Amino acid sequence: MRILHTMLRVVDLTQSIDFYQNVLGMSLLRQRDNEQYRYTLAFLGYGDEACEAVIELTHNWDTTEYQLGDAYGHIAIGCDDIYKTCENISQAGGTITRPPGPVKGGTSEIAFIKDPDGYTIELIQNKR
């Protein structure tokens, strides 16, 4: 078994796809509309879905707002240079909510950002 994808409901699909492509560097792997049930699915990731877990963005056409709830934590993404990644995200207009640095009580270097819908994404420096 393996994790296939994580689904996030988004209000503005175009804005969300732009964020995941142009701020986080993911590729749009596939997208489809369901006219009957009025929703669109977009799958984005860093590699082929056959080998990599991806993000599924679900846009329900008639929904204009979501409550994120207090059970959601974050999605974690590894990066080779967390400081350069955060600099690039900031220059691309992304929101950094915790600048890169060591995790409290540990040695891992992390940062947190928000996507356009307010979902938290943790960036973790890859071990060398």
Question: Which contiguous run of DSSP H or E holds residue 40?
Answer: strand 39-45
Q: Is the Cβ–Cβ distance between 95 and 15 less than 8 Å?
A: no
- For 113, the token pair is 């950002």
Q: Give 40: exposed, middle or buried? Use CB within 10 Å, 0-12, 13-18, 19+.
A: middle
Judge whether 109 counts as a catalytic residue. no
Q: Which residues are catalytic?
A: 122
